[in-house]
């Protein structure tokens, strides 16, 4: 049971990491577009939000992976 639990846990995290990386980026594009349309600005917010989204997507994955690595040490 012990080994199986670990395998399933890693499998669950594996399927999660991909989505975790992509959702902030999509969310940021949507939000940036929305703010740009509301304020009538020319893609400034879109670019700013995309940078934020990409950063937080990376941060998400980094956090999950680092916590797992620290636990194993």
Partner 1 sequence: MEGGFGPKIVFEIAGIKVTETVTNTWIIMALLILFSFLATRKLEQMPKGLQNFVELLVDGIYKLTAQTMGKDKIGFAPYIGTLLIYLVCANLAGLFALRPPTADVNTTMGLALITFFMIHFFGMKRKGVGKYLKGFLDPIPLMLPMNIISELATPISLSFRLFGNIVGGLIIMSLLYGGLAGIGAKLGIMIPIFQVGIPVPLHLYFDVFAGVLQSFIFSMLTMVFVSMAMD
Report the C-alpha gap between 32 and 2 in whole angstroms. Answer: 45
- Report, in Å, the least distance between residue 16 CB and partner 1: 6
Residues in CB range of 20: below 8 A, 6 or more apart: 57, 60, 61, 64
Residues that bind partner 1 (CB under 8 A): 1-2, 5-6, 8-9, 11-13, 15-16, 19-20, 23-24, 27-28, 52-53, 55-57, 59-60, 63-64, 67, 71
Smallest gap from residue 41 Cβ to partner 1 (A): 18
> Residue 33 CB, nearest distance to partner 1 (Å)?
16
Instruction: Measure the CA–CA gap between 30 and 26, rounded to whole angstroms.
Output: 6
Q: Which is nearer to partner 1, 41 or 68 (CB)?
A: 68
The total of other beta-carbon atoms located within 10 Å of residue 49's CB is: 22
């Amino acid at each position: 049971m012990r080994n199986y639990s670990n395998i399933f846990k890693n499998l669950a995290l594996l399927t999660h990491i991909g989505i975790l990386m992509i959702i902030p980026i999509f969310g940021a594009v949507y939000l940036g577009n929305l703010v740009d349309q509301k304020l009538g600005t020319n893609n400034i917010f879109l670019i700013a939000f995309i940078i934020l989204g990409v950063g937080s997507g990376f941060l998400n994955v980094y956090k999950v992976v680092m916590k797992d690595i620290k636990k194993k040490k």
